[in-house]
Amino acid sequence: MEMILVLDFGGQYNQLIARRVRENNVYCEVHTALGIEKIRELNPVGIILTGGPQSVYEKNSLLPPAEIFDLNVPVLGICYGAQAVAKVLGGSVKPARVSEYGKTELEISGESKLFKGVEKKSVVWMSHTDRIFAAPDNFSVTAATKDCPIAAMENTEKNFYAVQFHPEVVHTVEGKKIFSNFVDICGCRRDWKMSSFVTDTINQLKNKIGDGKVLCALSGGVDSSVAAVLLSKAVGKNLTCVFVDHGLLRKNEAAEVAAVFKNFDLNFIKVEAGERFLNKLRGVVEPERKRKIIGEEFIRVFEEVSKKIGAVDYLVQGTIYPDVIESGLGKSAVIKSHHNVGGLPDFVDFKEIVEPLRLLFKDEVRQAGRELGLPENIVSRQPFPGPGLGIRIIGEITAEKIKIVQDADAIYREEISKAGIKNLSQYFAALTNMRSVGVMGDGRTYDFAVALRAVLTSDFMTAEAAEIPWGVLNVVANRIVNEVKGVNRVLYDCTSKPPATIEFE
């Protein structure tokens, strides 16, 4: 299978590069700090070097192996990656006299396969304090901005390309064309589809696991459901799916999940663990600590179940790519530890943790679910984080707070459904730790504020706040204040991601 390799140098949105490649029906993987032997083993048809927070002239800066330029495959450097191309091949990189950040006009000079069909002048997104001052030998400059004379350069004979701007972000108007052109330069057949991923993954799982026993952490969400069905097709009855009711689920969710998966040909076990998780979380307020406690306790429950059903070799999780990125990939910043990635304890009593979806985005996981024949009500199910309401309750978690957010969220979901609003990517109610004065029944109250959240997104890495009709929000607010004990104020979160995250903790 042809594959374009993305070498990650720590930029926070490098996964968008993989998305842009996959949009061209070409398989793409992101790896960090690979040696040349591993790169040769992967046998990519092209290599992309990403952005990153370092300077290429720093003592301990990450640089690609020089041997990648002897592999006879096209190379594209982006931002820091462009500077890395210049540094490794003998050019010069220095601090820029004028840093560029944000939208900038790019002007293309001459002809370039990378810029085929791209407007000679267009808006690009810049984010750099260093720049290329001298191109390496045999490179020609193909584009510039007002403050960056070498905004793009290339060696056409070797198919080496470098751009100082970020073509992967939507702010670069012609970015998708640039990636499409690079895919053509790599000679890709553009024949990778989700059906190929499903078939290849099932075969890989069969070869990897063989007759081993597998335990799948099943939450009922689309990610873990797709992972479970993939494993079911790969190992059959050697798979046991464990659904842990940690007491932090949405209202009535435990019963709904159990009812759905009774209809599947899976070994399904439900574990009641609400009191256990609540005891572990008592007095804990720091978000990362909560995530790690929940992540560790999940693992301990799975270990106990595995001992009861017999030695289990593999634990399967529905980790997807945004989880990996936010938990810290390579030298990228940790935004928040997902309980199934950065929240795992140091010791796990399984031979290996298997994550068949860890390189997919949410929309790709949904496509895989449809390929596997999962019903649409599961494939299109509202995302719900593994730590559940534990990260939708700001501050200490108590039984009282859980009930408040469950009831408020149920009202919100009910009214969104009644209003026929179907385009929301994710929506939920969260409980703030703010108390405020209110008036109810001619008396003073001092109760909690509930925050409502709704976003629109394609990949869950960036998101825009949804514009819910005021009439709907008004009904939701009135119902929550009147029906949910302990709440006297309802707020609507209209912040995009970034700077906020979708979840509150």
Q: Which residues are known to be catalytic?
A: 79, 166, 168
Amino acid letter, residue 370: R
Instruction: Report yes or no: 463 and 425 within 8 Å, Cβ to Cβ.
Output: yes
3-state SS class at 145? coil
CA distance linking residue 378 with residue 265, whole number of Å: 16
| Under 8 Å between Cβ of 345 and 315 | no
- Residues 6 or more apart whose CB falls under 8 angstroms from that of 452 comprise 412, 427, 428, 429, 430, 468, 473, 476, 490, 491, 492, 493
Residues 185, 74 contacting (CB under 8 angstroms): yes
Angle in degrees, CA 178, 360, 167, rounded to 5: 20
DSSP per position, 77-95: EETHHHHHHHHHTT-EEEE
Q: What gap in Å lies between CA 412 and CA 487, rounded to an integer?
A: 14
Rg for the chain, CA atoms, rounded: 25
CB contact burial 461-497 (16+ within 10 A = b; e otherwise):
bbbebbebeeebbeebbebbbeebebbbbbebeeeeb
Query: How, if at all, do strands 140-144 and 92-108 pair?
Result: antiparallel
Distance (Å, rounded) from C-alpha 439 to C-alpha 428? Answer: 26
Q: Is the peptide bond before 65 cis (omega within 30 degrees of 0)?
A: no
Using alpha carbons, list the distances in angstroms from residue 426 to 283, 382, 385, 423, 463.
29, 6, 11, 9, 10
Q: Which residues pair with 277 in a beta bridge?
A: none
b or e along 181-206 (b: 16 or more beta carbons within 10 Å of the residue's beta carbon)? bbbebbebeeebebeebbeebbeebe
The 314-316 sheet, strands edge to edge = 267-272, 239-245, 214-217, 314-316, 352-354
> Which residue is it, tokens 């109760």?
447
CA distance 116 to 109: 12
The strand pair at 160-163 and 152-155 is best described as: antiparallel
The letter for the amino acid at 450 is: V
Distance in angstroms (rounded) separating the CA atoms of residues 76 and 89: 13
